[in-house]
Structure 1
Amino acid sequence: MTAGATLEVAGLARAFGGVYAVRDAGLTVAPGELRAVIGPNGAGKSTLFALIGGQLTADAGTVRLDGRRIDRLPPHRRAGLGVAVVFQAARIFADLTALENVMVGAHATTSAGFLAAALRLPAHHRQERLIRERAADCLARTGLAEWAGRPARELPLGRQRALQLARALCGRPRLLLLDEPASGLRAAERERLAELVAGLRSEGLTILLVEHDVAFVMRLADRITVLDLGRVIADGRPAEVRADPGVIGAYLGRAAA
């Protein structure tokens, strides 16, 4: 596993039609840390995630990876720097096999080049073999080895979510962004996912987890950032956040409304 990276977010803001979805948001994720972002519905979690991953451009603020600004880079450039994104909605290549889907994740780390591929040079063959081996290993790590030759469309939802994670790992990321990975999963699938994410953290991978399932987050996170109406209202260790009056008020207030 590639060593983890430091993520620094400062003063991040994004408005839609004059209404701020995220405003003056900031957080720092240390190397090897699992940082979770939680908040009530409409708190701005998905917008913040997209601003960090590059799917949206910020109106203000900065995103830095190990001190380098990446907030104006497109998603593929961020991927080349080691930022891997796993979305809530399963984004798979339905007609490719599970193994081929995972191999796609290594595209940002390939070096043989277009000419070597076009001419089928030995360098291309060597690299393709290594990528295939890496992809098979990632499938095994995520419990998908038996699905390797099956079309991705045949995988159940939980397995498709795991397939996205395997694809992200195939790129040997330094920072892994997970967008509500437990959403829609059954209890057994959620447990398997939690064990996998905990294992990645223990290997030193830096992880930013945006999640609605508070119990899932409390079990895994080193630190938690809480958003409400686009602003950070709390930041700390799980026990601290759980007892924070502002956090309790935000969740209970939304529930009452």
Structure 2
Amino acid sequence: MTSLLEVHDVGKAFGGVYAVREVGLTVAEGELRGVIGPNGAGKSTLFNLISGHLLPDHGTLTYAGRRLERLTPHARAKLGIAIVFQGARLFLGMTALENVMVGAHARTRHGFLSAALRLPAHRREERAIRADALEALDRVGLKDWADRAAEELPLGQQRSLQVARALCARPRLLLLDEPASGLRAAEREALAQLIESLRGEGLTTLLVEHDVAFVARLADRISVLDLGAHIAEGTPAEIRQDERVIAAYLGKEAA
């Protein structure tokens, strides 16, 4: 399979303490890759290194053959990397539809002057973005909420709204940071079904999660971090039986 994302020997330290050290993984085109680990394992740091919100101290990150280390999050978005953060980062005072339309900013072609003058090219682009946003809302089951204020949605639907916003960018790689955190059982099930449907459409996804069962249900392969190091990789079945993973989560005696 063709690799889309390659992380090689990546490290990041804070105050001399490594949060991520010599981590490497390869995500194939169309794969849903899970990244798990106990609290403090380095999952969020790795996510922020891939998304561009942190820069590595050493190592390389390559996406579709292009080096990422010094690119801004916005530049990475233009390349087709979309992000859903753990917290429900919504634009308050805007409708669900308007929130999703923001996701298309990385691929807009017309600038401030065209918008200010309401030039025909800008109006056509705005109509196209609106149509794309409605389609994205429909994909996540929120089309009927399009004109509601985003903050009125329950937490689970706010998380789905974030996914819709990411999809509006037409990503090639979707990064999900702890998407199930804080959700109730029914909301988690709805989110799992949504992620499964996106995998069925061939969208490459990197899912960073603490919940092993949630990731095991969805991922093709799982990478495991512990204390900043990459300790295991394999299918969900292989990971469940890996003594290093059991020890990381439950202690050495359990292993």
Which residue matches 2:151? 153
Residue 90 in 1 paired to residue 88 in 2? yes
Which residue matches 1:134? 132
TM-score by length of 2: 0.96
Which residue matches 2:62? 64
Which residue matches 1:120? 118
Comparing 87-96 with 140-149, greater Cα deviation is found at: 140-149
Match 2:198 to one of 197, 200, 215: 200
- Structure 2 counterpart SS, 1:199: helix
Q: Distance in 2 between matches of 1:92 and 1:255?
A: 43
One-letter identity of the residue aligned with 2:38: P
User: Where do residues 69-80 of structure 1 align in structure 2 (5 Å cutoff)?
Assistant: 69-80=67-78
Note the alpha carbon deviations across 1:25-56, whole angstroms, 9 max, x for none. Answer: 01000000000000011100000000000111
Match 2:243 to one of 232, 242, 245: 245
1:146 Cα deviation from its structure 2 partner: 1.7
1:118 Cα deviation from its structure 2 partner: 2.2
Which residue matches 2:37? 39
Note the alpha carbon deviations across 1:137-194, whole angstroms, 9 max, x for none. Answer: 1111111112111111111111111111100000000000000101111111111111
Q: Percent identity?
A: 70
Q: Distance in 1 between matches of 2:109 and 2:221?
A: 36
Q: Distance in 1 between matches of 2:89 and 2:219?
A: 25
Q: Distance in 2 between matches of 1:181 and 1:62?
A: 26
Conserved? CA contact 2:3–2:26, under 8 Å? no
Q: Distance in 1 between matches of 2:38 and 2:81?
A: 26
Where does structure 1 differ by over 3 angstroms across 4 or more consecutive aligned residues?
A: none
One-letter identity of the residue aligned with 2:123: H
**Number of residue pairs the alignment of both structures matches:** 253
Residues 44 and 255 of structure 1: CA distance in aligned 2, closer, same or farther (over 3 Å)? farther
Conserved? CA contact 1:87–1:181, under 8 Å? yes
Residues 186 and 254 of structure 1: CA distance in aligned 2, closer, same or farther (over 3 Å)? farther
Which residue matches 2:223? 225
Note the alpha carbon deviations across 1:60-99, whole angstroms, 9 max, x for none. Answer: 1111101100111010000000000000001000110000
Conserved? CA contact 1:5–1:206, under 8 Å? no
Structure 1 spans left out of the alignment, 5+ residues:
none
Residues 213 and 24 of structure 1: CA distance in aligned 2, closer, same or farther (over 3 Å)? same
Match 2:211 to one of 210, 213, 224: 213
- Let me know the Cα RMSD of the aligned residues: 1.5
Q: Distance in 2 between matches of 1:118 and 1:21?
A: 45
Comparing 160-169 with 110-119, greater Cα deviation is found at: 110-119
